[in-house]
A = this chain, B = another copy of it.
Amino acid sequence: MNPTVNPYVSVDCVLLGFDGEQLNVLIVRQSGKGGEDSTGNYKLPGSLIYMDENLDEAAQRVLNQLTGLVHVNMMQFKAFGGADRLKNPSDSVWLERFHHLNHHIERIVTIAYTSLLRIDRRMEKLEGGYEARWIPIGELPKLAFDHNDIVLEAVESVKQKSTLDPTLLFDLLPRKFTAAQLRVVIENVQGVTIDVKNFHKKLATMPYVMPLEEKEDGVNHRAARYYKFKRIRKKNLTEGKMES
C-alpha cells in the first residue's frame, strides 16, 4: 500500500473539449478491471489524493499525467459524497486493487473538477497507458461510480459559470478562431441559438475579443476573419449590471 494515499478522498476531472461541433468528455478505461467488454468499464480520470497534497494540486496532477498539460484552469465545482457511491462492489474492489490498498474501502468522497480544453493534435496523443477517449456528451456510455451524474452536473456548472464570465469559453477554442466558431461554442454550452447578425454586433462590443487582419485560407466559400482573445483584468467581465 502506498503510505501517502488518503483512502477517503479523491478528485475526479471532467475534461470538456470542443471539436468544432460539440462538447466531448474525456473518459479512461478502468485498467485491469475483470470482466471487461469492449464498450464498458470507463470512468472519469481521477485519483485518491495524497496525504500532503492540496485538492487543487491533486486535480492538476491527474490532468497532467493524462494529457501532459500544465497550468490549465481547473475549476472545482462540487463534492460528491453519497454514502452509496461505491454501491457497485466491483468498483470498490477495482479501487483497492488499483491503489494497492490492503483494507476494504467503504466509502469515498470525491471532489469534482472541470476544465475546458480545445481538442487538437496534442490531445490526440494522450498518454497511452490510460486508454483515454473523447466521447460526445450525448453519447456517453454507462460509467463507473456516479460518474454519469458528475458529468451532467459539470456541464450545468460550466453553463452557469460561463454566463457570469463568458471569457471562460475561450479555452475551448484555438488561439485564432472565427466568429462562427465562437458562436457555435456559446450555442452548445448555453443551449441557445444565436442570430448571426446580432452576434457580430455583440462581438464588436466585447472588449476581450480582437479582430485580426488574417483570414481563413483554402475554404470553398468566402473566407472568414480570424479573431483572438485578449485577456484583461478580471473586473467587469460579467457585465453584471444589477436590477435597478
Contacts from A to B (Cβ < 8 Å): 6, 8-9, 49, 51-55, 76, 78-83, 106-107, 109, 111, 160, 163-164, 166, 186, 190, 192, 194-195, 198-199, 202, 238, 240, 242-244
- A109, B107: Cβ atoms under 8 Å? no
Separation of A125 and B103 alpha carbons in the complex (Å): 46
Candidates B55, B194, B242; contact of A243 at CB < 8 Å: B194
Chain B residues, CB < 8 A from A76: 78-79
Q: Is the interface of A mostly helix, strand, loop or mixed?
A: mixed
Chain B residues, CB < 8 A from A244: 194-195, 198-199, 202
In the assembled complex, the CB of A95 is this many whole angstroms from the nearest CB of chain B, namely: 15
Copies in the complex: 2
Separation of A186 and B79 alpha carbons in the complex (Å): 28
- B109, A109: Cβ atoms under 8 Å? yes
Separation of A32 and B39 alpha carbons in the complex (Å): 56
Chain B residues, CB < 8 A from A51: 83, 106-107
